[in-house]
Chain A
Amino acid sequence: MKYGVMSMDVVARCSTTKARVGKLSLPHHVVDTPVFMPVGTQGTLKGLTTKQLEKIGIQIMLGNTYHLGNQPGEDILEEAGGLHQFMGWPRALLTDSGGFQMVSLLKLSELSEEGVQFEHPRDKSIMMLSPEKSIAIQNAIGADIIMQLDDVVSSTETDAKRFKEATRRSVRWLDRCISAHKRNGDQCLFPIIQGGLDESLRKECLHEMTSRVVPGFAIGGLSGGECKDDFWKMVTTSTDGLPEDKPRYLMGVGYAADLIVCVALGCDMFDCVFPTRTARFGCALVPTGQISLKNVSCSKDFTPIQEDCHCTTCKSYTKAYLYMLFRANHPSACHMVSVHNVMYQFNLMRSIREAIKNDSYPQFIKDYFLKLFKTPLSYPSWAVDSLNSVGVRLK
């Protein structure tokens, strides 16, 4: 089914779990799902060139509306012909609404029905991020997929009334975003499913939002440090309430075990700063977890980060060499590990897609978990329970 410029074809389904493989046609690129989208907050990804990202195989990446709206700003992005042109990235882009940063980065933000009022971090003027403003900036940025402004509830909030208010306001703001959106022809607007950890509130939100004409959905209000037992139940409730023929984007998820479980629960798109942020601190992702390259145990290890990895870092550099560069705070070391970590996530998603296509995803999950956790005794119970709910028995 086509929605403006975007279409999602589900090309394979797992016969056991809710996992599926799709082809998402976007204005700038066709994206294979399930997909992990690296986060390039300010129009660049941790020192990697766009050529490096293309070479790894990245099909879509993220930009942050709040940051880009501050610098270089809406007008310069517009003059440049959008973020694609500005940063020299020919493939697909997705932007968030800016609402999350508003609440998490700015102490002095004030919420009303109109939007989020805040003090501009540089010129200290009072600004308003309304649903209309968020969409205007996102229209200037020109990403393939844009997000509605939602009423973000702090993860430490305990008041149930606040969740109800936020969820209902997010539905109202969705309608304002839909009418403010000026580029329906080449940008897809996603609503964000809210409802906190309250199943009935989430169902109410699902009911409201799925009744609007939108090309796909984001699942929000999760991965804010809540209990994992609640997390997976909300994810599965959300995917159950979403249409089969539209993409589901689970926001802020990027750890391998989480990705594997949430694919099984029916999610298609993920993003997280973790793989590149951790690279900066000398942490490399491997099938057994992570390697800290600053650790002295790497200092005389003259093998690559991962023997069977085909990234340019593993082809050219040893752990001992990376250890030396990290000790001296060499920026090139961050680039080297970022290349590996971005490649690691990319390969993980590719093998997930392959396993679903071969209808061997349950076995893939079992193998991957055993490698990652070494023994079934260390499997987290939430993962065991959630996979159990979709027919995969880990133990």
Chain B
Amino acid sequence: MKHKRLLYFSIKRFKSTVSNMSTECIKEKSQEKTLTFTRNEQVTHIGIPCCIMHTRTGCIPHLTEETLDYLDKKLIQNIYQVPLPSVIDYQDILEAANTNTLECLCMPNTSVLYATVQDFSCLPPSGYNTNKTVAVWGAGGKISVTPQSYMKLVEVLKPDIFQVLADGDVLKAESRKRIIKSVNRSVQYLDECIKHHQQSKPLENSKMICMIEGGNNLEERKRCMKLMLEKLKGHEDCVWGFGIDALPREKYISEGTKTVIKLLNDELPAGKPLLVHGFGHPLNIIDLIEDGVSVFDSTYVTELSESNHALVYGIPSIDSSLSLLNGDAKTNCSIVDVDVRKFVETIDISDSCFSRSFAPLVENCPCYTCVNHTRAYIQHLTVVNEMLAPVLLMLHNFHHHLTFFSALRNELNACSNLKSFKQKLIALNSMH
């Protein structure tokens, strides 16, 4: 059951009648693990596990088309996340543009567009949602969004996929009462979003991602899922996948979180990808994939780069005969629990210990930053607060993170599980 969602998804857009077949999971037929989007006869294949590119207003933070171009094209997955707070103030501009959103936001016209309710790299202040509205903070301040006004904005954006409005404001160890409220509200919002979607001509080719709420309360997660599936009865075709919202921000995901994800993966309909936001630690990504998640986003890269951190962990590659694992005793599962605390994934490059380090962030890393610049230079840039620091960190961290995802896909294509990959990863990064 574990990897059922990794097999094959195909989403066909711009077909007036969306066929059932296109969203079904084709279990045994293919080893190819991709999401397929079709728009105007143009087909985009996106390998899974996939990493959606996080943007603000369609622009990857700190980069431009010119600097994004320094990244290896083979690594970039052509799917972009546009958070609502970054476009909510510009509804009139998007309408006036008289073109599609991609053109208006100056994005490559082959991109797959994914609209989210919040920006997961900078979550809004807590406590502003109501039974009828979700608070979204645009450039000009707070805007309360109802399911109707939300869907109207989605109609302007016409994304390939979009989140259903949900109340995910339960991150800070909320009471059971608050969690129940968040489930009730989100189910109600879903009901209204489905109704709107059914009648919406502009959204006939856009599919929904249902956000499952319930915090860390297993019963509430279950209830949320059950109620949402009831609402979705007869509308399965307009659902692209399921998002697990409001997961706690833990350095290493806890057993409680894993239980929630396993439960949802087992009971949600097959053939619909399961998606999470904000996760990026390599060990978490592996655990989440093993629990059934196949779609992630790059907010981790944005967050690291904006806090002066660089990814430095070693990535095992399938063809490297890594003989770090000596003895079978080490290959037993308990490795994670033993060594996880010694796992070094990032460095804080603003630390003065790097001020005389004239080596690249990662030795032999082929990214623009590592080929051209040293740790000492980037350290200097962070000390004087220069805008080039996050630019260079974004370029390296993106390269590193996307290389990791590419390695995961290779591994899954070759041996359909991540057991030995995970062991190699831990061995490679916990040696000191």
Q: What is the interface of chain A, defined by CB distance below 8 A to chain B?
A: 42-44, 46-52, 67, 71-72, 76, 79-80, 86-88, 299-300, 302, 312-313, 316-318, 320-321, 323-325, 327-332, 334-336, 339
Contacts and interface: CB of A to CB of B under 8 A. Distances in A.
B388 A331 contact: no
Contact of A327 (B67, B96, B139): B139
Contacts of A52: 66-67
A312 B60 CA distance: 16
B56 A328 contact: yes
B64 interface: yes
Interface in B76-112: 86-87, 89-90, 92-93, 96-97, 99, 104-106
Given A328-B86, A331-B61, 4 more contacts: A47-B387, A76-B376, A86-B374, A324-B89
Given A52-B66, A339-B66, A80 B376 contact: yes
A166 to B, nearest CB: 30
A320 B387 CA distance: 23
Q: Which of A302, A312, A324, A329 has the most CB of B within 10 A?
A: A324
B93 to A, nearest CB: 6
Contacts of A88: 372-373, 377
B383 interface: yes
Contacts of B92: 299-300
Contacts of B376: 72, 76, 80, 86
Query: Which 3 residue pairs are nearest across A and B when measured between Cβ atoms?
Result: A47-B387, A312-B66, A44-B388
A171 to B, nearest CB: 34
A324 B89 CA distance: 9
Interface in B211-234: none
Interface string B340-382: 0000000000000001101000000000100011101100110
Interface string B175-202: 0000000000000000000000000000
A328 B90 CA distance: 11
B211 to A, nearest CB: 24
B380 A72 contact: yes
Contacts of B90: 299, 324
B377 A86 contact: yes
A72 B87 CA distance: 39
Interface in B295-318: none
A51 B356 CA distance: 23
A79 B376 CA distance: 11
Interface size class of B (residues with CB under 8 A): 35 or more
B141 to A, nearest CB: 12
A328 B139 contact: yes
Interface in B26-65: 56-65
B377 A335 contact: no
B274 interface: no
A332 B59 contact: yes
Contacts of B97: 300, 302, 320
B384 interface: yes
Q: Which of B93, B97, B106, B391 has the most CB of A within 10 A?
A: B106
B226 to A, nearest CB: 39
A79 B355 CA distance: 11
B104 A312 contact: no
Residues of A contacting B: mostly: helix
Given A49-B388, A51-B368, A320-B104, A79 B93 contact: no
Contacts of A331: 61-62, 387, 390
Contact of B64 (A42, A51, A312, A320): A312
Nearest to A86: B377
A88 B368 CA distance: 12
B272 to A, nearest CB: 33
A142 B273 CA distance: 56
A46 B377 CA distance: 15
A330 B387 contact: no
A300 B95 CA distance: 10
A316 B65 contact: yes
B266 interface: no
A300 B97 CA distance: 7
5 contacts: A44-B386, A312-B65, A324-B87, A335-B391, A339-B66
A324 B138 CA distance: 11
Interface string B370-413: 00111011001101101110111000000000000000000000
Contacts of A334: 387
Contacts, number: 128
A88 B96 CA distance: 43
A225 to B, nearest CB: 27
Nearest to A327: B139
Contacts of A339: 64, 66
Nearest to B67: A49
Contact of B386 (A42, A49, A76, A321): A42
B380 A43 contact: yes
Contacts of A325: 57, 59
B385 to A, nearest CB: 9
B303 to A, nearest CB: 15
Nearest to A42: B384
Nearest to A73: B355
Q: Which of A72, A79, A300 has the most CB of B within 10 A?
A: A72
A327 B63 CA distance: 17
Contacts of A317: 65, 106
A259 to B, nearest CB: 26
A329 B57 CA distance: 11
A318 B106 contact: yes
A47 B66 CA distance: 13
Contacts of A328: 56-57, 86, 89, 139
Contacts of A44: 381, 386-388
Contact of B89 (A51, A316, A327): A327
A198 to B, nearest CB: 38
Given A321-B106, A339-B66, A300 B96 contact: yes
Contacts of A299: 90, 92-93
B64 A313 contact: yes
Contacts of B373: 87-88
B124 to A, nearest CB: 14
A137 B356 CA distance: 18
B106 A316 contact: yes
Contacts of B104: 302, 320-321
A49 B392 CA distance: 8
B374 to A, nearest CB: 8
B367 to A, nearest CB: 12
